[in-house]
């Protein structure tokens, strides 16, 4: 697992972490979906890079309303992704910064990301709010390794709080599908849906 992938440790801010992640998405034209877009801080970085095929999802109505006003070139939606995993079907890249650990059924959400979709997540080693899970690096990788093939990671060390870390992951959704939690539209049979999924091919890195 982690022994097979370089894990750089960088002392920097969350803002700089987003810059690092944005530099992993240069010249990308296919749909990017951000889970937990918040104040659209990452969308701003995509705008600077002339990337516009983006959908930001968040449960905060006020933030989504403000984002729609300030960034009309992007799409934003106020919804709970855990209850609307079908929104991930057309995404070719899914990103999420410090959000997945708050989603109760995070594995169901990841299971519904299409195979070979690119993934960028950041996750913490500790949290302040209740009802949120957190792990050290190995724990996060073990949690998601059934669904995601990791190929890059960086540990972000808080210069002011040495015990606080963020893990920035880059990877690809693999072909494993858990039938029990995979969303299938009512007018599809599961077998037909799987044929469509199998027709998706990996993109060149």
Q: What is the pLDDT of residues 15-65, one digit of tens each?
A: 999 999 999 997 789 999 999 999 999 999 999 999 999 999 999 999 999
- Range 176-201 average pLDDT: 63
Contact 135, 108 (CB under 8 A): no
DSSP 191: H
pLDDT at 204: 47
- Helices of type H across 25-96: 41-48, 61-70
The C-alpha atoms of residue 31 and residue 54 are separated, in whole angstroms, by 6
Q: What is the pLDDT of residues 119-152, one digit of tens each?
A: 999 999 986 666 688 899 999 999 999 999 999 9
pLDDT at 186: 58
1 vs 25, residue with greater confidence: 25
The CA dihedral of 181, 185, 191, 197, to the nearest 10 degrees, is -80
Going by pLDDT thresholds of 50, 70 and 90, the confidence category of residue 201 is low
> For residue 204, what are its two tokens?
């060149």
Q: Are strands 7-11 and 148-157 parallel, antiparallel or unpaired?
A: parallel
Q: Which CATH architecture group holds 2-198?
A: 3-Layer(aba) Sandwich (3.40)
Average pLDDT score, the chain = 87
| Chain centroid, CA 23 distance in Å | 15
> For residue 109, what are its two tokens?
């959400």
The C-alpha atoms of residue 189 and residue 125 are separated, in whole angstroms, by 40
Beta strands in 43-124 (DSSP E): 54-58, 75-78, 93-97, 118-124
Going by pLDDT thresholds of 50, 70 and 90, the confidence category of residue 158 is confident
pTM, entire model: 0.87
Going by pLDDT thresholds of 50, 70 and 90, the confidence category of residue 2 is very low
- Range 72-84 average pLDDT: 96
Contact 31, 92 (CB under 8 A): yes
Handedness of CA 180, 184, 190, 196 (dihedral sign): negative
């Amino acid at each position: 697992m982690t022994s097979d992938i370089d894990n750089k440790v960088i002392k920097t801010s969350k803002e700089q972490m987003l810059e690092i992640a944005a530099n992993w998405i240069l010249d990308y034209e296919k749909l990017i979906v951000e889970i937990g877009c918040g104040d659209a801080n990452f969308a701003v970085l995509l705008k600077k890079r002339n990337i516009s095929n983006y959908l930001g999802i968040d449960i905060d109505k006020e933030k989504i309303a403000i984002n729609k006003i300030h960034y009309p070139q992007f799409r934003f939606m106020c919804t709970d992704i855990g209850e609307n995993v079908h929104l991930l079907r057309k995404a070719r890249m899914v990103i999420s910064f410090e959000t997945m650990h708050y989603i109760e059924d995070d594995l169901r959400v990841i299971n519904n990301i299409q195979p070979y979709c690119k993934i960028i997540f950041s996750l913490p080693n500790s949290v302040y709010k209740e009802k949120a899970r957190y792990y050290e690096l190995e724990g996060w990788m073990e949690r998601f390794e059934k669904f995601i093939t990791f190929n890059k990671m960086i540990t972000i060390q808080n210069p002011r709080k040495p015990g606080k870390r963020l893990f920035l992951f880059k990877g690809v959704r693999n072909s494993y599908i858990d039938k029990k939690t995979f969303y299938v539209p009512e007018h599809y049979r599961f077998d037909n849906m799987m044929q469509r999924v199998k027709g998706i091919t990996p993109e060149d890195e």
